[in-house]
Amino acid sequence: MKNLDTSQAVEIVECMYSVNFATGNTIIREGEMGSVVYVMEGECRS
């Protein structure tokens, strides 16, 4: 995101939304194709 101008960064942030995952749920699996970027807060383990 360091190469984005302010308006581009704001546009991305405005599209973000919160998702909660229960303990034990798999969020991402290494090697799988995906189209989502996660910004995480809290603790995760592999």
Structure tokens at 9: 């960064």
Residue 11 counted as domain residue: no
Residue 34 counted as domain residue: yes
Domain coverage including residue 36: 20-46
Contact 9, 1 (CB under 8 A): yes
What type of residue is 38?
Answer: Y
Residue 41 counted as domain residue: yes
Total residues found in the chain within this entry: 46
- Cα(4)–Cα(25) distance, rounded to whole angstroms? 33
- Cα(15)–Cα(44) distance, rounded to whole angstroms? 23
- Cα(6)–Cα(10) distance, rounded to whole angstroms? 6
pTM: 0.59
Note the pLDDT tens digit of each residue in 1-46: 789 999 999 999 999 999 999 999 999 999 999 999 899 999 888 8
Task: Count up the domains in the chain and report the number.
Answer: 1
Residue 8 counted as domain residue: no
What pLDDT, on the 0 to 100 scale, is given for residue 16? Answer: 95
